[in-house]
Amino acid sequence: MKSIILAAGYATRLYPLTENFPKPLLKVGKTTILDRLIDDIDCIDGIDEHIIVSNHKFVTIFEEWKNNRSFKHAVTVIDDGSTENENRIGAVRDILFAIEKCAVNEDVLVLAGDNILDFSLKGFVDYFNEKKSACIMRHFEESRERLRRTGVAVIDSDDRVLKMQEKPAEPESHWAVPPFYVYRKEDLPFIKKACTKDAEGKIPCGTDAPGDFISWFCREKTVHAWLMPGKRHDIGNLESLEEAERVFGG
């Protein structure tokens, strides 16, 4: 299994902190957001390489970070070619770019590089191996306002995803979906299909947010939803960064 860490965004809501510096390498407490993520997944059996997708503006900063760290498994930093927020290629295309650039032909764990979890992702990978299907994560969210800013899943009694909405105006459930996914080797061709124009010249699904793919894919193949055993902190603005610092800064 490979891990693909999406870190090609420009984090404009965190300016000036991220105007010339990548959000995943901001420190929360004594370590960075990305280090917290890597330190966890680097210890999961079966993952043998971590692929970090950067943009062109920040790729040398990620390379310098990598060269000053030691890891159990290989870390590969790749440049998706975008130079500013206006010409970013989108999260789904970044996943496809990583798969094609690194010739990935096995299961993949896809992770947003700007979230902090207070639990290990090992349970998520174990759940994927048990279900033998693509998997997402889910947690109960009471606030409809927050649901409008995230992915939302409708699931059945067997945890199968019946429908997925990305940032819906009218959420159809209270199951929020953070940007963490596991795909089987057999699922990878669907990512390319999702980014390729059909006979009518249309792209099958949105490509900006990673959840856009699941919204389409769950109608094509089986997807299960793992119940998170803890909390996650999405570092999206200065307020959320300050909150994470209060929680993890000790």
Q: What is the pLDDT of residues 142-175, one digit of tens each?
A: 999 989 988 899 999 999 999 999 889 999 999 9
Enclosing H/E stretch for 31? strand 31-32
Distance separating alpha carbons of residues 199 and 40, to the nearest angstrom: 43
Q: What is the pLDDT of residue 250?
A: 65
Q: What is the pLDDT of residue 149?
A: 86
Q: What is the pLDDT of residue 200?
A: 84
Distance separating alpha carbons of residues 131 and 225, to the nearest angstrom: 10
Q: What is the pLDDT of residue 152?
A: 94
Q: How confident is the model at residue 205 (pLDDT cuts 50, 70, 90)?
A: confident
Beta carbons of 149 and 234 less than 8 angstroms apart: no
Distance separating alpha carbons of residues 247 and 250, to the nearest angstrom: 7
- Residues β-bridged to residue 161: 155
Closest CA to 7 of 203, 168, 176, 210: 210
Distance separating alpha carbons of residues 32 and 37, to the nearest angstrom: 9
Query: What's the CATH number where 226 sits?
Result: 3.90.550.10
Q: Is the pLDDT of residue 184 over 70?
A: yes
Residue 215: which domain range?
A: 2-248
Q: What is the pLDDT of residue 26?
A: 95
Distance separating alpha carbons of residues 108 and 15, to the nearest angstrom: 32
Question: Token pair 């105006």 is at which residue?
Answer: 169
Q: What is the pLDDT of residue 141?
A: 93
Q: What is the pLDDT of residue 37?
A: 95
Q: How confident is the model at residue 199 (pLDDT cuts 50, 70, 90)?
A: confident
Count of domains for the chain: 1
Question: Token pair 């900006």 is at which residue?
Answer: 208
Mean pLDDT computed over every residue of the chain:
94
Q: Is the pLDDT of residue 221 over 70?
A: yes
Q: What is the pLDDT of residue 211?
A: 86
Mean pLDDT calculated for residue range 52-77: 96
